[in-house]
Chain A
């Protein structure tokens, strides 16, 4: 890991605009030689330290956001929803009574991510902004297209953990399982730029496919700080769930994960549906055909099966990951039925 300058501002106004680059931009090079003149933000620092220890990032300076107290709070929002400060840790989220009762999909995913030690430090903001886990991207010896190189090595390589949708030029899957749940819950992000200017953007719109920009996963701009995740109030009749399948039960990234949120009239038809697949595409993948099949129907096992089948519409597996298709189909069916049956 390289040596760096360190600063630790105490409020947002002091911090915003101080970083000169984003982690994504600081990792792009023509030659594979690391840039050492950028200043980047750090929240929990789990992914940042990982990238630096692997020799993939060598910033001149780190601006620590962890001492900014307002960023670590979960609060009721004016619209009846919830405002989650970006520094709230995964452990905090998993234990929060409001998140547990009103946004179960998020509590599920926060409590099942990584290990207890990591959840204690890793923040929800950092989780959403972490870089891809693709082993070619994480390898210093592979100057891949996402780092300014010419090719994506996954297409002709070991692609068993890679995308089955939308892998246009880069076959990464989005690394955040929280993102799968948060997109299903209709989350928005509050971003604070230099001089305290704020913008609010839908989480789904914030993420970028490789065909839009192959070198960054999202629309964060240099100097901008992700300050809060905003959850709209769920309808009293809505429920959500997140389930994941890894190769082991503990401490593993999913090979497939699914979030489902349904609003169902009491004893009646489904009024609104979100079916989001994680570890499936370079962004959380919305299974629109499955959602269309659910809305207006009284959901039973047959409807759930049909929707799960439709969720894989348009899938284009690579040479080694077609095994993901039946796993996703099963997870979608189970998630829908679990929401409908209330457990």
Chain B
């Protein structure tokens, strides 16, 4: 009698086909970043942060802890701040990504970027792109800010230089300018 049992490696392939699975090798996918559509060929295990930095050379997004604990990698997913290190690029789908590189309009800085410069809210600068992304999202959704709103929106961001008080001042200023 014939042994019809598939060898292990083939059985595994058959099960993967049944689930419509792709990978583990590189797969084609499209990422919409800063209103530009990019075609990539990357492994399913690639995080959004890795895809942005390594495949698209958008190195403004920083990776600190790589565990969602420091928020340095903050980008927008459909306008909302997320940790790019804790999202797989393949999981983004058709959602729109905005990075720090997409915030300014040409040479015209986003009001939050200008306020950060005016208030010297930067020291070493590693946490700054992430902080700017959280602050800019906050200003878009709530133009009349209180200090508590700013503290809540930046609560996930670690800054070892201690720039948080300057960030708070910058944001209160940006909010005042936005209102007038």
Contacts and interface: CB of A to CB of B under 8 A. Distances in A.
Place the interface of chain A in its size category: 20 to 34
B23 A49 contact: no
B67 A61 contact: no
Contacts, number: 102
Given A5-B44, A60-B12, A121 B19 contact: no
Nearest to A3: B24
Interface residues of B, number: 38
A228 interface: no
B134 A64 contact: no
Contact of B21 (A6, A37, A116): A6
B74 to A, nearest CB: 6
A18 interface: yes
A1 interface: yes
Interface in B9-58: 12, 15-16, 19-25, 27, 43-45, 47
B87 A121 contact: yes
Interface string A1-33: 111111101000000001000000000000000
A52 to B, nearest CB: 8
Given A45-B91, A60-B12, A118 B68 contact: yes
Interface stretch (B106-114, B149-157, B171-179): B149-157
Contacts of A53: 66-67
Contacts of A117: 68, 71, 74, 81-83, 134, 156
A7 B20 contact: yes
A7 B93 CA distance: 12
A129 interface: no
Interface in B147-172: 151-153, 155-156
B13 to A, nearest CB: 10
A3 B21 contact: no
B90 interface: yes
Contact of A251 (B47, B80, B91, B156): B156
A251 B90 CA distance: 27
Nearest to A61: B21
B152 A45 contact: no
Contacts of A338: none
Contacts of B71: 115, 117
A121 B81 contact: no
B68 A46 contact: yes
A45 B24 contact: no
B86 interface: yes
Nearest to B77: A120
A121 B86 contact: yes
B145 interface: no
A60 to B, nearest CB: 7
Contact of A6 (B22, B151, B153): B22
Nearest to A2: B45
Contact of A50 (B15, B24, B68): B68
A251 B87 CA distance: 19
A63 interface: yes
A39 B19 contact: yes
Nearest to A64: B91
B86 A250 contact: no
Contacts of A251: 69, 155-156
A20 B134 CA distance: 38
Contact of B155 (A45, A49, A63, A115): A115
Question: Nearest 7 pairs between A and B by C-beta?
Answer: A115-B156, A250-B155, A3-B24, A6-B44, A5-B21, A7-B21, A7-B19
Interface of A: 1-7, 9, 18, 37, 39, 45-46, 49-50, 53, 60-64, 66-67, 91, 114-118, 120-121, 249-251
Interface of B: 12, 15-16, 19-25, 27, 43-45, 47, 66-69, 71, 74, 77, 80-83, 86-88, 90-91, 93, 134, 151-153, 155-156
20 contacts: A1-B45, A2-B45, A3-B24, A5-B22, A5-B24, A6-B22, A6-B27, A6-B90, A9-B20, A45-B88, A53-B66, A61-B16, A116-B152, A116-B155, A117-B81, A118-B68, A118-B83, A121-B82, A121-B83, A251-B69
